[in-house]
């Protein structure tokens, strides 16, 4: 094996690449590069890739995960925000003909356009990435809400956030993020990743989470925007009852009796807390809000 084909994700190779290119980490971009090939292999395996599939990576860094994706998939597109990394990626990914790098902020890009241009001939694609902690939730929600033809999302994120995404009703981690992610996908934590396998070393452990995108949302709702508004209001203050949260964050304050009546009409005790409601119950609640036409606060 020639030097350029050696795995990037080793401490020695990573240091060599960074030194050769004079690269310094930008804290503001949450850059932490993985230096463990076994973990990368496990991530790729979780994504169920093969030579007939396409994959998008967000934040390829110096290409450690990217090269593993190139070996496993038919087509790879990596989206990188840091212009300083483009020449490094051009170098490290030079052995692979099935990859292209798009320079841009994934939160600003027209992803439907990127998908049309990059994945012509593919019905679906997967997203596999080591996401910066500070933009994890906005990126995931953009991928889910834009109804892109995604098969799986397999991402390494902060362990605490992964646990919140996959949490079940009635647990301390269950919240509006759990409901939002599970509305669109089946979520499972695939593995825990210690901070010690990154350079620089982050302050917390990571986890790999898999979101298998549902063909249709988990529950039927009359108005998706209202569903998420109800969920957000229900979790506004975790220690408050559902009645209190809805009354103060969704409805006008003078509608307490009407809110109690609405909840009881669909079999939900007004004294319950938001974290005890299932997706089905949130769908029932949101649909009833739409049907009754109760006055909402602005």
What is the tens place of the pLDDT at every residue in 14-58? 999 999 998 887 766 667 888 899 999 999 999 999 999 999 999
The pLDDT of 205-223, averaged and rounded, is 97
| Binding residue numbers | 32, 34, 59, 80, 105, 130
- Where in the chain do CATH 3.40.50.150 domains reside? 3-213
What is the tens place of the pLDDT at every residue in 61-73? 999 999 999 999 9
Q: 197 near 36, Cβ under 8 Å?
A: yes
Q: What pLDDT is attached to residue 1?
A: 35
| Binding residue numbers for S-adenosyl-L-methionine | 32, 34, 59, 80, 105, 130
**Nearest to 196, CA basis, from 182, 206, 188:** 206
Selected residue with higher pLDDT from 239 and 6:
239
The pLDDT of 138-146, averaged and rounded, is 96
- Where in the chain do CATH 1.10.8.100 domains reside? 224-292
Average pLDDT, the chain: 93
CATH class, 224-292 region: mainly alpha
DSSP 296: B
Q: Does domain 3-213 have CATH number 3.40.50.150?
A: yes
Distance CA 75, CA 99 (A): 6
């Amino acid at each position: 094996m020639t030097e350029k084909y050696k795995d990037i994700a080793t401490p020695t190779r990573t240091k060599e690449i960074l030194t050769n290119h004079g690269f310094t980490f930008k804290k503001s971009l949450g850059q932490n590069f993985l230096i463990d090939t076994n973990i990368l292999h496990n991530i790729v395996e979780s994504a169920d890739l093969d030579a007939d599939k396409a994959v998008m990576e967000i934040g390829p860094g110096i290409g450690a995960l990217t090269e593993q994706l190139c070996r496993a998939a038919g087509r790879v597109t990596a989206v990188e925000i840091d212009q300083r990394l483009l020449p490094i990626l051009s170098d490290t990914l030079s052995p692979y003909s099935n990859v292209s790098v798009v320079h841009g902020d994934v939160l600003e890009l027209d992803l439907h356009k990127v998908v049309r241009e990059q994945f012509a001939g593919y019905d679906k694609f997967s997203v596999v990435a080591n996401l910066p902690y500070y933009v994890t939730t906005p990126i995931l929600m953009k991928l889910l809400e834009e109804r892109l033809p995604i098969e799986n999302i397999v991402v390494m994120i902060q362990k605490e956030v992964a646990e919140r995404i996959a949490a079940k009703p009635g647990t301390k981690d269950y919240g509006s993020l759990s409901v939002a992610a599970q509305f669109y996908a089946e979520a499972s934590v695939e593995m825990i990743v210690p901070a010690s396998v990154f350079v620089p070393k982050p302050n917390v452990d990571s986890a790999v989470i898999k979101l298998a995108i549902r063909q249709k949302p988990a529950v039927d709702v009359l108005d998706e925007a209202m569903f998420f508004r109800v969920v957000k209001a229900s979790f506004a203050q975790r220690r408050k009852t559902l009645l209190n949260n809805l009354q103060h964050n969704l409805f006008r304050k003078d509608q307490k009796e009407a809110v109690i009546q609405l909840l009881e009409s669909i079999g939900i005790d007004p004294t319950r807390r938001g974290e005890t409601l299932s997706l089905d119950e949130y769908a029932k609640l949101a649909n009833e809000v739409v049907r009754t036409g109760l006055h909402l606060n602005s």
